[in-house]
Amino acid sequence: MLIKDRTKSVRIKKLEVMQRRIIRHHQRYLSIEDELSGRLAGHFGEQSNDYFLKPFCDFSVFHDLRLSAHDSYFQIDTLLLSPRYLLNLEVKYITGTLVFDHLNQVIRLKDDGTEEAFKNPIFQVKRQQSHLIEWMAKNRIPPIPVRSLVVMSNPRTIIKAPPSNKEVPQYITHSPYLQERIKVIDKMYGEEKLTKKELSKLSKMLVRHHIPENPDLQKRYQIEEKDIIKGVYCTECFYMPVHRRRGTWTCPKCSFNSKDLHLNSLLDYALLFGTSITNKQLCEFLCLKSRHVAKRLLFEMNLPHTGGCKGRIYSLPELK
Ligand SMILES: [Zn+2]
């Protein structure tokens, strides 16, 4: 049973807005595109891996959990819950070859022949596992075995390790073999450790304690307001800015027209500047000439607001 589904993270959504709205000659523009393509590959890799979990309908399945640990957070790509054990899956979409050496260092050999150091994904799942065990103890969940696997979602990823490294075959698998690995683990844990009530409590707590990440990417990429292209964008061809005439937005490039085209651009605003907006800010961001038009759009959206007529602050929908 799927309890918490996978959606595009706020980080990916912010990167998509930045790719759309940052001036092309910005010194970090290529780095933004690089990070976005890497994160999208990871996201689609995780989605494709979900297919291999379908036969396991007895588990409660959680995707993209982010829970607090000490004064920081830990993230879990996929968590499977059963009354007998928990299974933590870290999904990796990697191109090229991963080489584990006898010192537990990991080197990634790319298809173009270059190599780079890679964070050891086995250490990563072990750390997640110990954080999860601590988190459950803190929240008074009875002890239950936790197992972890690193799942390679790109079938072309080659893994190389010396025979002395026993952890690589123990912790790493490719997506198509995941079902077999789960069947083997399943046979190892026959005894029920959690009652139905305890399992349901754990399930609800995981959803309630999940804290979505909201990174400050403008700071990270040194983006100032002057670097951001303003205006309403066309959702069909991404042309910007689209202008509004007689109550309708009409794209000059592809002729797509809609009365509500500003709504998508306001989502961009919320991702870039936060969910509070004034009439003046809306005028500037949507490139509207008339504050009366802005007032009408704000009125039609029926947004919650604070303050009197002058300086009224409107709340755009929360980001998820
Ligand atoms: Zn268009």
Q: Phi and psi dihedrals of 152, rounded to 5?
A: -85, 110
Between the CA of 285 and the centroid of ligand 1 the distance, in Å, is 18
What is the C-alpha to C-alpha distance for residues 234 and 238, in angstroms, rounded to an integer?
A: 5
The answer on pLDDT for 3 being more than 90 is no
Residue 133's pLDDT band (cuts 50, 70, 90): very high
Between the CA of 17 and the centroid of ligand 1 the distance, in Å, is 17
Answer left, alpha or beta for residue 106, where phi above 0 means left and psi between -120 and 50 means alpha: beta
pLDDT 10s digits, 198-233: 999 999 999 999 998 889 999 999 999 999 999 999
Between the CA of 233 and the centroid of ligand 1 the distance, in Å, is 8
pLDDT 10s digits, 148-172: 999 999 889 999 999 988 999 999 9
pLDDT 10s digits, 259-289: 999 999 999 999 999 999 999 999 999 999 8
The domains of the chain, with CATH numbers, are 2-209 (no CATH), 230-315 (1.10.10)
What is the Cβ-side half-sphere exposure of residue 126, based on CA atoms within 13 angstroms?
Answer: 10
16-37 mean pLDDT: 96
Between the CA of 160 and the centroid of ligand 1 the distance, in Å, is 48
Between the CA of 251 and the centroid of ligand 1 the distance, in Å, is 5
Between the CA of 300 and the centroid of ligand 1 the distance, in Å, is 24
What is the C-alpha to C-alpha distance for residues 159 and 304, in angstroms, rounded to an integer?
A: 53
Between the CA of 258 and the centroid of ligand 1 the distance, in Å, is 11
The CA dihedral of 64, 76, 210, 217, to the nearest 10 degrees, is -70
Are 48 and 153 contacting, i.e. CB atoms less than 8 angstroms apart? yes
Between the CA of 260 and the centroid of ligand 1 the distance, in Å, is 14
Are 75 and 11 contacting, i.e. CB atoms less than 8 angstroms apart? no
Residue 307's pLDDT band (cuts 50, 70, 90): confident
Residue 183, strand partner residues: none
Residue 320: its pLDDT value, please?
A: 53
Residue 113: its pLDDT value, please?
A: 86
Between the CA of 111 and the centroid of ligand 1 the distance, in Å, is 37
What is the C-alpha to C-alpha distance for residues 139 and 245, in angstroms, rounded to an integer?
A: 57
Closest CA to 287 of 300, 268, 303, 271: 268
Residues of the chain above pLDDT 90, percent: 76
Between the CA of 248 and the centroid of ligand 1 the distance, in Å, is 13
Between the CA of 295 and the centroid of ligand 1 the distance, in Å, is 25
Between the CA of 234 and the centroid of ligand 1 the distance, in Å, is 5
Higher per-residue pLDDT: 145 or 51 = 145
Residue 46, helix vs strand vs coil: helix
What is the C-alpha to C-alpha distance for residues 188 and 28, in angstroms, rounded to an integer?
A: 50
What is the C-alpha to C-alpha distance for residues 239 and 236, in angstroms, rounded to an integer?
A: 8
- Tell me: cis bond preceding 215? Omega within 30 of 0 counts: no
Between the CA of 201 and the centroid of ligand 1 the distance, in Å, is 49
DSSP 277-307: EEHHHHHHHHT-S-HHHHHHHHHHHT--EES
Between the CA of 84 and the centroid of ligand 1 the distance, in Å, is 54
Residue 225: its pLDDT value, please?
A: 92
Between the CA of 236 and the centroid of ligand 1 the distance, in Å, is 5
pLDDT 10s digits, 69-85: 888 999 999 999 999 99
Between the CA of 241 and the centroid of ligand 1 the distance, in Å, is 10
Between the CA of 232 and the centroid of ligand 1 the distance, in Å, is 11
pTM of the model: 0.82
Between the CA of 257 and the centroid of ligand 1 the distance, in Å, is 8
